[in-house]
Structure 1
Amino acid sequence: MSSVFDVLKERGFIAQITHEDEVKKLLGEKKVTFYIGFDPTADSLHIGHFLQLMVMAHMQQAGHIPIVLIGGGTAMVGDPSGKNDMRKMMTREIIKHNADSFKTQISKFIDFSDNKAFMVDNSEWLMELNYVQFLRDVGVHFSVNRMLTAECFKTRMEKGLTFLEFNYMLMQSYDFLVLNRKYDCQLELGGDDQWSNILGGINLVRKSEAKEVYGMTFKLLTTSEGKKMGKTENGAVWLDPEKTTPYEFYQYWRNIDDNDVENCLALMTFLPMDEVRRLGSLKDAGINEAKAVLAYEVTKIVHGEDEAGKAKEAAEAIFGGKGKSDSIPFIEINSADLEAGIKIADLLMAAGLTPSKSEARRAIQQGGVLLNDNKITGFDYTVGTNDLVNGEMMLQKGKKNFVKIKVV
């Protein structure tokens, strides 16, 4: 039986690791407590976070113990990693609201029963720190010269790194120290942009506790061309169904580039690697079937089997002439509003097909907007009761985005 290290390596998760032989041995021989941190900078996780949750799930399935660290304290400062500008500062109330949303979402993916996993918030220890004591206990172990060479500060150095952000590495490193003391946590995992911060924590634990702990990063979710995945013209692909509907979520995976299918199947599903490689090797019409499998499997993990089935039926009803037409995404509009007339741009926005009027104008100019299969040519087109077909309308943007309009 292979260890979880071999599973993560074969599936393509691992980017960097501090002590490969030691970590592989450790994960193969004993139950290891590890942690991943999530700073609540929004009120929902997105698919970049989902990749981290998949790592956590693989680790838990192999018998290891995850600690989900919610960064209620670190979010007060903001991680400078990979940022050109300082993050927008948030109030404690917004951070708490976001943290509560994260906790609810993560509980769908990780089993917290019977101490199989723990969820903690670093505001518990960071918000009450004595600053002078913190400098004496933690700051003394950090070389400013070395910190300034860290990758996480490089992009911020060009515009000016604030002293506030400079403290982030110390705070994240202190998290590892606290979790090591309280839970005997031996391993920190994170995205590859967290490498410098993880090294800081490892050094702090070694110097403070005279213990060896380890770090491992995994690849960020990118296309075969190296571009970050998870963005659409409407913004990020969220795990919250109120922000990205299960159908939109399904369609995101259904429409990825052919060259990204095998990588996404390996990282974002639990399908066996033999099946991943078989699906990834398909060509022409076959690769579309592979994309449908990917879309269904990822949507099933995030939104459940029922919603994944509905999204699949909706896609088939629209694109393949199969399935139930009532599974197509829809919005409801008031009959009085329709009688008064609704501008096409307002309807596109209400349907979630464009985020703004300027995007609506662009889509119309490019010939990409259809109402009941009729191309809309004018930005000022007013939708009215004459556009109803059997009491409904079908609004389309591009080849693959459809929303049914129902009148109430």
Structure 2
Amino acid sequence: MNMDMFDAISNEVRRKILKSLQVPKSFSELLEELDIESPALAFHLKKLDGLISKNNEGKYTLTEEGKKALSIINMIESQHISLSNQTEIPMIIQYVDNFIVTENMLRKLKEKGRKLIIRDSNTVEFQAIDPNLLNDVLENIENVSTVKCPDELVNVISSKSKNVITIRTAGSSEEDKEGFLSRFLSAIFPSIRINNRLRIVYDGPLQTSNDLSIELDGGVVTIFKGEPHLLAKCVDMGDLDINNNTIRADGCYLKISYPDLNSLKININGGKVSVSEIKMNNLYVEIDGGIVDLNIAVQNEANISVDGGKISGQISFLPYKESKLLLSVDGGIGDVTLSLPDDISVISSSSINGGFVDLPKGRIGKNGVLYINASVDGGVIKVKENKGHTN
């Protein structure tokens, strides 16, 4: 048995996928049957490359190698031999302009049994880190322009690198003398590379709902106000799934127009999502390596979690009795500008475990209250108020 096949069948989820695909199934059918999150399913499907493929209907099916793997699974399980070699899904950092890797971040990943993968980014900076820890957690760095690191990490990073243009050690550039915060927040959004093999797989209306959910595993999504409509460009039909009020995409370019919402949920695992000119009661964002850019209005709650990646832009909070902005960053960047009514109360609080937080000062107003809570564990959160704004 080759190592690729062993890696595939040593994971319980991937074994379930192979067993399930004795009958071809779509992404959404697998998602419902396996009861796992969309990014997790996308990760495991990529690991099964060569053992599964898509048919003319865009459904996943077993290849000849996949059928061999399934036979091996059935034979071994019939003999009550364990195949367990469970590994957690790695943290994938992708399409980021500047990213800083800290020892605290790597220790947390190691505790969870997760690896770190960095790809398709501009600059990656490694702080002082135990080389053995870095070697254990870092899986690879690919398609990165510049890597900055201490001298003692060069050997480890070089061994994990592919298509890295420059590796700079401390003191090799005047730019390395800049402060931690200025390097973090001077990032400008990178140009996301779009696969030139994309073709239009859908161009038509969407079902109107008060709630909209976007799940992205690489690619670019632009959302703006308008009549409900979707233009989707993907490699093939199977990379796009539309199920009621949920749109899932794998490496696609999506252009979505939609009216104001009760709630918008964004789950991004690599790639970029931009949202503009839409009003909503509630916003929920989870970023696991990727970029989200906002220019929106929220009335009730904005709950944003960044686990490697970046959230930026402007949020206008509409007058309301009690509103909340909850920001959690674990190895990433939160850079948000607020537009607030002049007479709203602001109450700010934070929790810092390595990193930097800058929040607006609290104030007393007469028309509602905005609670801001920021939690950072190795990263940066900067929230500022647009003083020129008046509601």
Q: TM-score, normalised by structure 1?
A: 0.24
Greater fraction strand: 2
Higher helix share: 1
Which structure is higher in RCO with an 8 Å CA cutoff and minimum separation 6? 1
**TM-score calculated relative to the size of structure 2:** 0.24
